[in-house]
Amino acid sequence: MTGPHPAVAATRVAVREVLAALDPGSRVLVACSGGADSLALAAATAFEAPRLAVFAGAVVVDHGLQEASADVAERAAAQCRGLGLDPVDVVRARVGTAAGPGPEAAARNARYAALDAAADRRGADVVLLGHTRDDQAEQVLLGLARGSGARSLAGMPPRRGRYARPLLGLSRRETAAACAATGLEPWADPHNADTAYARVRVRGLLAQLEEALGPGVADALARTADQLREDADHLDGEAARRAAALGEGPHAVADLLDVPRPVRTRLWRLLLVAAGAPAGSLTFAHVEACDALLTRWHGQGAASVAGGLRVTRSGGRVSIAGSTRVE
C-alpha cells in the first residue's frame, strides 16, 4: 500500500509538529482564504487533529474588497467543512478606508482583528496561518527595502502569541501539489497578480532573482530570516533587561552610553513606547535623533518623537516628556 503524495505528507508532518505541542482537548482554527496554501493547511489539520485529540475548525475572512467575495468565502468554507473541520465560520472584516495605512496594511489589520474575534468567540488556543517559505522570502525582501534593521529582516516567526505558521518550511509549489493530490480546488486571488501591491512586485522580483542567480534564493532568504530572528530576539531581550535596570527616568547620559549601540537603539524604542510613543510610528530617524543627544551632543534642542514626545538633555541626564507621561 502506497503512502500519501509527498507534498501531502510534508504538510501533515509540518502541522503535526505544531499540534503535538498542544494539550489534548485544545482547540485550533485554520485561517482559510480558499487559496492553495491555506487549503493545504486545512486538509493537513483535518487529518492530524483527530489523531492528537485536538479539536479543529476554520475561519474564513471575507474582506469585501472584490466582487463576489462572499461567494469565494462560502466556497472556501464549504471545502473546509468537506474536510471535516468544525466549526467553520465565515466572518466579514471591516477594512478601513480613511487616511492611515495603505490598502495592504489596512486589509491585514482588519483580517487579524476578525481572526482574533473568531478565536475569542470559539475559545481557540491557536490560529493556524498558511504562510509558506515563499511568503517568508518575500517578507525579507520587503524588510530589506524598508531598511528597518535586523528585526524587519527576521521575517515572520513560526509562532507569535496565538498564531502559528506550520508551513514556513514548505514552498507554494508543495502546497499547490498537496491540493491537487487531495482533489481540492484553490481559489486564485486576482490581487496576487496586481502589481499595484508591493508584495506582488516583490514576488515578481523574487522570480527574477531565482532566474538570474539560480534556484535556492527563496530558501536562502528564509534561512537568513531564521538566523536574524535569533539575533534580534537576543538583542531585544538584552534591551528589555537594560530598560528594567534603568527604571524611571530621567536617565544618566553615562548609563545610556554604557549600553552597546545595537542594544541601545532597541532600548530607545522601549523607553519611547513606555513614555507614550506609538510603536508603529517610531522610525529610524526618531531613534537616531534621540541617540544624537548622547553621541553627537553640541547643545542641540529637543528631539521630537512620534506621539508628541520631546527628548531633551540637561545636566548630564536625558528626559522624555509628552502629553502622556512626563519624566
Tell me, yes or no, if the pTM score tops 0.95: no
**How far is C-alpha 91 from the chain's CA centre?**
21
Specify whether domain 6-135+152-196 bears CATH 3.40.50.1370: no
Q: pLDDT tens per residue, the chain (327 residues)?
A: 588 999 999 999 999 999 999 999 999 999 999 999 999 999 999 999 999 999 999 999 988 777 788 899 999 999 999 999 999 999 988 776 554 557 777 888 889 999 999 999 999 999 999 999 999 999 999 888 877 677 778 889 999 999 999 999 999 999 999 999 999 999 888 878 888 888 889 999 888 998 899 889 999 999 999 999 999 999 999 999 999 999 888 999 999 999 999 999 999 999 999 999 998 788 889 999 999 999 999 999 999 998 899 999 999 999 999 744 333
- Locate CATH 3.30.465 in the chain: 247-321
- Locate CATH 3.40.50.620 in the chain: 6-135+152-196
The secondary structure of the chain, three-state, reads: CCCCCHHHHHHHHHHHHHHCCCCCCCEEEEECCCCHHHHHHHHHHHHHHHHHCCEEEEEEEECCCCCCHHHHHHHHHHHHHHHCCCCEEEEECCCCCCCCCCHHHHHHHHHHHHHHHHHHHHCCCEEECCCCHHHHHHHHHHHHHHCCCHHHHCCCCCEECCEECHHHHCCHHHHHHHHHHHCCCCCCCHHHHCCCCHHHHHHHHHHHHHHHHCCCHHHHHHHHHHHHHHHHHHHHHHHHHHHHHHCCCCEEHHHHHCCCHHHHHHHHHHHHHHCCCCHHHCCHHHHHHHHHHHHCCCCCCCEEECCCEEEEEECCEEEEECCCCEC
Domain 247-321: top CATH class: alpha beta
Phi, psi angles (nearest 5°) of residue 131: -65, 140
Burial class (CB in 10 A: 0-12, 13-18, 19+), 139: buried
